[in-house]
């Protein structure tokens, strides 16, 4: 199978997938509910550091996210939702913020699934990716780590620490967390 790699914010990836401009993608878990998905995702076992709500007088959603905005609402948090690099930078600044994955875990004792590898076709190939991916320890080549650090102005050490918070296998406990999220949003 020939693959083309595309990177974008979750909201744009969701749209490309929904319009069938890509056959498979990591899409927001709230959007993945109505599609086929592999047992591979972006999962926070406890805290995640890159999905936050910061104190604010008014509710402000992050236009790049679908799942995180809904999660903040479910957890009854008021403030500004931040995701990704900007959230990680904010977290590292030491300013007050609430980590949504940590609050979810504190409340339900379950991991939170932010995204799932969803697909329209190529089921056999996706299942093969799922099988290999779940047995592979993810390693980041030094040149990618250095480029990410330069691009984001986040130290390599902080990036590696953040990546330790992420799991990629939708195991039984993560599936239970996903099911709970879907029940609460029904």
pLDDT for 1: 44
Q: Where are the domains of the chain?
A: 10-179
Q: Which tokens hold the place of 23?
A: 């056959």
* Nearest by Cα to 9 from 33, 27, 29: 27
pTM comes to 0.88
Query: What secondary structure letter does DSSP report for 60?
Result: B
The second-level CATH assignment, the architecture, of 10-179 is: 3-Layer(aba) Sandwich (3.40)
pLDDT for 4: 53
Would you write out the chain's pLDDT as a tens digit for each of its 186 residues?
Answer: 444 555 677 888 888 899 999 899 999 999 999 999 999 999 999 999 999 999 988 889 989 888 999 999 999 999 999 999 999 999 999 999 999 999 999 999 999 999 999 999 888 988 888 888 777 777 788 998 999 999 999 999 999 999 999 999 999 999 999 999 999 998
CB 113 within 8 A of CB 41: yes
Contacts of 127 (CB under 8 A, 6+ apart): 38
pLDDT for 17: 92
pLDDT for 10: 81
pLDDT for 161: 92
| Cα–Cα distance, 82 to 41 (Å, whole number) | 20
Angle at CA of residue 31, ends 26 and 34, nearest 5°: 105
């Amino acid at each position: 199978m020939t693959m083309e790699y595309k990177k974008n914010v979750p909201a744009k990836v969701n749209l490309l997938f929904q319009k069938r401009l890509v056959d498979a993608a990591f899409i927001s878990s709230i959007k993945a509910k109505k599609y086929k998905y592999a047992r591979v995702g972006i999962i926070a076992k406890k805290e995640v550091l890159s999905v936050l709500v910061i104190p604010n007088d008014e509710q402000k959603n992050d236009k790049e996210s679908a799942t995180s905005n809904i999660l903040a609402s479910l957890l009854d948090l008021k403030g500004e939702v931040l995701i990704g690099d900007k959230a990680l930078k904010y977290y590292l600044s030491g300013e007050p913020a609430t980590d949504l994955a940590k609050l979810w875990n504190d409340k339900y004792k379950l991991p939170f699934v932010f995204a799932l590898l969803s697909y329209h076709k190529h089921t056999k190939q996706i299942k093969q990716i799922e099988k290999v991916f779940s047995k592979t320890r993810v390693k980041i080549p030094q040149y990618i780590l250095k480029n990410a650090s330069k691009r984001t102005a986040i130290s390599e050490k902080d990036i590696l620490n953040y990546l330790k918070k992420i799991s990629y296998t939708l195991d039984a406990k993560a599936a239970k967390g996903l099911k709970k999220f879907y029940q609460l949003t029904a």
